[in-house]
Amino acid sequence: PVAPGPAPAEPGSLDALRESARDCRGCSLWQPATQTVFGEGPTDARTMIVGEQPGDEEDLSGRPFVGPAGRLFSRALDELGIDRRGLYLTNAVKHFRFEPRGKRRLHKRPDVAHIEACNGWLRAEIAQVKPERIVCLGASAARAVFGPGVRLSEARGAWRTRDDGVRAFATVHPAWVLRQGDLQAQALAYAGFVEDLRLLLAT
């Protein structure tokens, strides 16, 4: 007797999307990357978090926000008393873009073309999860969520309503906080980041 395989994913479901995204060749980033890092979290999450792209640890593990930036984000959520497990976490671009430097892989920002090529996946995630609100972490996420012409400085720390009625705001990317030169600058950047995320507590 043959053991039954896993139940096939329901067409159009998040699981089905995740499966299709595994073989995405929509841009060239799939080739050097280890795997697609799709979003994860409850299908009925009220809040969706959109980051830039997976980093080194995410690329290796296949899960979003598990590296240093993800840990800083978790710390900010803990401080605000927000349960990360209730959030749907995803990225504007679902493959890690990097530059090899010896044994290391240095993060490289995605181009607008990568964000555009990947936008169908994000739109599909939004259509499936139907979040009430979206938080964009950094400029790439703001571009993916609001489209061209919205600057991070304008979208930062204030709700805007998208054409589909979903409210969203942007804040800085936690990796940017970590890149601040000295500890004082980092503490200041982190405080601003937490302050922006506090918007999630208001409604």
| Residue 55 binds to ligand URA (criterion: CB under 6 A) | yes
| Residue 171 binds to ligand URA (criterion: CB under 6 A) | no
Give the whole-angstrom CA distance, residue 104 versus residue 122.
29
Scanning 22-30, 51-59, 126-134, 185-193 for contacts with ligand URA by CB under 6 A, the matching segment is: 51-59
Contacting residue, 39, 41, 51, 131, with ligand URA by CB under 6 A: 51
Contacting residue, 36, 58, 95, 116, with ligand URA by CB under 6 A: 58
| Residue 175 binds to ligand URA (criterion: CB under 6 A) | yes
Residue 42: how many other CB atoms lie within 10 Å: 13
Nearer to ligand URA, 51 or 131 (CB): 51
The mark string for 73-102 relative to ligand URA (x by CB under 6 A, - otherwise) is ------------------x-----------
Nearer to ligand URA, 16 or 60 (CB): 60
Contacting residue, 17, 38, 52, 133, with ligand URA by CB under 6 A: 52
